[in-house]
Amino acid sequence: MPTPIQTVSESLLAPGGLTLDDLPPLVHELAMGDVDFADLFFERAEGESFTLEDGEVKDASFHRDSGVGVRTCVGDRQGFAYTQEITADRIREAGQAAAAIQKGQSKQTAIALSPIATPTLYRPINPISERASHEKIAYLLEIDRLARQRDPRVVQVQATLSISYREVLVCATDGTLAGDVRPLVRLSISVLAEQGGRRERGGAGLGGRYDLNRLLTPEHATQLVTDAVDQALINLEAVDCPAGEMPVVLGSGWPGVLLHEAVGHGLEGDFNRKGSSFYSGKIGEQVAAKGVTVVDDGTLADRRGSLNIDDEGHLTQRNVLIEDGILKGYMQDKLNARLMGVPATGNGRRESYAHLPMPRMTNTFMEAGEATRDDMIASVKKGLFAVNFGGGQVDITSGQFVFAASEAYLIEDGQITAPVKGATLIGHGPQVMSAISMIGHDVALDTGIGVCGKNGQSVPVGVGQPSLKIDRLTVGGTA
């Protein structure tokens, strides 16, 4: 069976008349000068999506792209260029553009590339070709039918299927030579329910790095329809959310997006090297309540945020960022790791060959504790139970965040009572981490729908957490 390097080299290099034997000389040319580090990132990508709205196909698209990004690093400066034509001549031209940041004299450094044996966290398949277009559309039509059948108050249904396939090859002046084949599928549904002139939305999604046949099952269609419609119907009965500081219980799974945004970004290496994160210079210090352990793990099988290798050819790994409330380390790409004098952690990620890599999260979550969610609810006299989140904003420098809850309930005298609308959670990420008093044993990751944006680049990620009780959190409401 061919290795990932052999598989991707045939489709990426062969069309331009290149082989693996041509890579060492090309990388060698990048190393000539006062370059600290340089790399080539080859990529071929295919993507397909279908969006169905009210029983009609509103959008259908397919794209294919390929190219190579060329980067040189001198100190904290990066020179970068890319080309869609993967030939030796175009790579050399891009290399000359990327080398413009150099100042010193040429130097001759022999480059020996050492292939990296990659794990198999997901199958190297192309899910796009597994089913014909009419079968994919028929599945979305069935979702539409099921949603309307579930409740007559459903007046609008939107279902989207997104599929992608990527092949990457990385070689670098540090001797790295690594390849990967990356499938990714995602199915999402949004419904609008109406009652007495009032309209409310509900949504659900599912996905990961696996084959399309595993995603498009009758069971998954039923599950997503049930979750989305029930959420919309619950919101139809919601009352105005009270405002003020109160205890908040967060559900498990997707609410970990708050942890991702309000804490995770602040633990990325570039922000801490520049001193712009709240967590800068605080390794070894207590930054969260005891019992809080935060992990970024890119090695979880089939997960949306997982990678066999990161986009710099480094093996992904399990990184403990906060352990029992103590800050242990940051997520690093090669550039920031070198400048900070620490090892890279397998978190170098980029949107495509046309983008520079930077430290990014993979699957970021909080580990389980020992409490039960029922105990958390019972301990609250008056507060909020937040089950699902919509959009939010966070300031990385200050740690301040605002998140809107898409499904939440009042807690009164230790009981979950009425659903509420218009609830927003407002706070300071590190302060919230210190205000956690109970951690559930029900840790869960999200269902495979996360997308993270940073500096104009988007990458797939996973989030998660157990149920949590936060003793004090500002809730913005409509009451």
Confidence (pTM): 0.95
Q: How far is CA 328 from CA 174, 311, 324, 428, 471, in A?
A: 27, 24, 10, 20, 25
Q: How far is CA 387 from CA 258, 262, 291, 369, in A?
A: 12, 17, 22, 18
Instruction: For residues 55 and 60, give the distance between their C-alpha atoms in angstroms, rounded to a whole number.
Output: 14
- β-sheet bridge partners, residue 280: none
Q: How far is CA 224 from CA 146, 191, 204, 220, 280, in A?
A: 10, 11, 6, 6, 41
Indicate the domain borders of the chain. 4-236, 240-476
94 has a pLDDT exceeding 60: yes
Q: pLDDT value at position 31?
A: 84
479 has a pLDDT exceeding 80: no
Q: pLDDT value at position 294?
A: 98
| CATH code, residues 4-236 | 3.30.2290.10
Lowest average pLDDT, out of 34-43, 389-398, 416-425, goes to 389-398
**For 466, what's the count of Cα atoms within 13 Å in the CB-facing half-sphere?**
25
> pLDDT band at residue 109, thresholds of 50, 70 and 90?
low
Query: How confident is the prediction for the chain on average, in pLDDT?
Result: 94
Using alpha carbons, select from 80, 84, 232, 222 the residue that is nearest to residue 153.
Answer: 232
Q: What angle do CA 443, 449, 451 make, to 5 degrees?
A: 105
Q: pLDDT value at position 101?
A: 74
108 has a pLDDT exceeding 60: no
Q: pLDDT value at position 104?
A: 57
